[in-house]
A and B are shown apart, each in its own frame.
Chain A
Amino acid sequence: MRCKNDLRPAILPLSVLAVWVIASSAGLTNAYLLPSPGRIAEAAGELLVDGELLRHIVASLWRVLFGFALTALLALPLAFLTGIFAPLGGYLSWVLEALRVTPPLALVPLLILWLGIGEASKLTIVVLASFFPVYMNALAGIREADGKLIELARTLDLTRRETALHVLLPSALPGIVNGLRLGFGYSWRALVGAELVAASAGLGYLIIDASEMARTDRVFVGIFAIAALGALTDWLFRRAAARLMPWRADAGRVSGLEG
């Protein structure tokens, strides 16, 4: 059970923070391995003031959003095509399956070789990481459309187009939204991984750069920024889902197939 003002999720992080503050002010921690929360806040302040943090956040967010939009443009129409014309899915199945089980980061060296270390390789990583959850969840949603409702649509003399719009699309919507949400999380993770390897901006780059300069405090700032942005976008997704599917009492908590 969770209600609006439930504070239980805050207990663990706040306790960890308290122990952390106490341990570091008592001098029990190595300031290089684990800087104090105060030191990390200071570092965050510096990075905010000189605009560096914002620059890296914008670089990462831009890549994720742009790559993710590409994914949606590719995966959703393909899911509708294979969902409606089942034989097409047969032709694609081996290729899709092989790509699905290959971690996108394994392709980074090849992508750098082909596309260089510019934006193209990072966008490709984002697309590869998010394509499958989006595609597979949307496809499952379309396939799960209730045959009885399609039958009903026929007795109402609805055309194929109207049936797709009023029956198939809304039944697939929970799957689509859930796939987009999962895919967004995946692309966010893969992007940071790619930025660790090859980039000159972005939160992944911020972390690896700070680590090479022995600025562990800045490493923590990068990690927290990634976590906060991930949680924020996920929350936005759930809000949008609830808006988009007012008929689902549990719309904010969609879950299901993972890609």
Chain B
Amino acid sequence: MYGLTITGLRRRFDISGRSIDALDGIDLTIASGELLAVVGHSGCGKTTLLHHVAGLQRPDAGTIAFEGPDGPAASARFGMVFQEPRLMPWKTVRGNLELALKHIASGAEAESRIADALETVGLAAFADAWPHQLSGGMAQRVSLARALCREPDILLLDEPFGALDALTRSRIHGEFAAIRLRRPLTTILVTHDIAEAVRLADRVAIMQAGRLTAVFDIDLPHPRPLAAPGLAEEVATITAAVLGDTISQA
């Protein structure tokens, strides 16, 4: 399990002659085992931030430093869930998870990890299904299982539950919180569901136009059912902060 420190991260895109600062100087520290939720309007740079942490894109400026159990590390093992499932259509559910374990585990060890991960997302019965036989929500749960079975140093989740129906989402929230109680897992969760952020996160950061404009500590005890005392107030405060000017002008 790793912590990470992001310093002065910048990334500019040129879209038909117009420059967009998708990351406009991000400074952020995430402790080992912490879950940070990032919320913000679409297009504010959340996906770009995750891609930079995962090393899929290079920043124009700034650094990302990882801190492992044995000190600073150049990189880390990531478990990533993209906005869409990204399953290999030519592999079964099991095959997709096996591929994710390629350099991590094989044989009986891999089998038991795959079984555990599928159990966690409630899809134990679908190990031999083809991706095209799954609903969108099921495919996204497989993609979460694929990230979890790697036992990553850092888990990166890009609106992972957005496509799920409300009931499944609520159940997954409970299970996900339980997984992290058993075994803390450094996580960045990008979401536009503020209630989700408050239920799961240790801290919630608000992102606007490439910058982090505010960070809220969520000190509520787990588990945090939707009706937990204080949860609604946190959601209201953060929603107001995200909407910002819209509210004050109203």
Q: Cβ of A158 and Cβ of B132 under 8 Å apart?
A: no
| Selected contact of B102 from candidates A148, A154, A158, CB within 8 Å | A158
Q: Cβ of A167 and Cβ of B103 under 8 Å apart?
A: no
Would you give the shortest CB distance from A29 to chain B, in whole angstroms? Answer: 53
Contact of A230 with B by CB under 8 A: no
Residue in chain A with minimal CB distance to B57: A151
| Selected contact of A167 from candidates B77, B78, B88, B130, CB within 8 Å | B88
Would you give the shortest CB distance from B62 to chain A, in whole angstroms? Answer: 20
Q: Cβ of B102 and Cβ of A155 under 8 Å apart?
A: no
**In the complex where A155-B54, A156-B99, A158-B99 touch, is A149 in contact with B82 (Cβ < 8 A)?**
no
Q: How many residues of A contact B (CB 8 A)?
A: 20
Scan residues 204-259 of chain A and give those whose CB is less than 8 A from a CB of chain B: 245-249
Contact of B189 with A by CB under 8 A: no
Scan residues 79-129 of chain B and give those whose CB is less than 8 A from a CB of chain A: 80, 82, 84, 86, 88-91, 99-100, 102-103
Residue in chain B with minimal CB distance to A171: B90
Would you give the shortest CB distance from A151 to chain B, in whole angstroms? Answer: 6
Q: Cβ of A155 and Cβ of B132 under 8 Å apart?
A: no
The count of A-to-B residue pairs whose CB atoms sit within 8 angstroms is: 43
Residue in chain A with minimal CB distance to B131: A247
Contact of B56 with A by CB under 8 A: yes
CA distance A247 to B103 in the complex (A): 25
Q: Cβ of B130 and Cβ of A246 under 8 Å apart?
A: yes
Interface of B is mostly: loop
Residues on the B chain within 8 Å of A246, using CB: 130
Of the four ranges (under 10, 10 to 19, 20 to 34, 35 or more), the interface on chain B belongs to 20 to 34
CA distance A158 to B150 in the complex (A): 13
**In the complex where A162-B102, A167-B88 touch, is A157 in contact with B77 (Cβ < 8 A)?**
yes
Q: Cβ of A152 and Cβ of B131 under 8 Å apart?
A: no
**In the complex where A149-B88, A162-B102, A247-B90 touch, is A154 in contact with B131 (Cβ < 8 A)?**
no
Q: Cβ of A157 and Cβ of B103 under 8 Å apart?
A: yes
CA distance A246 to B91 in the complex (A): 9
B residues engaging A (CB < 8 A)? 54-56, 77-78, 80, 82, 84, 86, 88-91, 99-100, 102-103, 130-132, 150
A-B contact pairs, 5 of them (CB 8 A): A155-B78, A166-B88, A170-B88, A245-B90, A247-B130
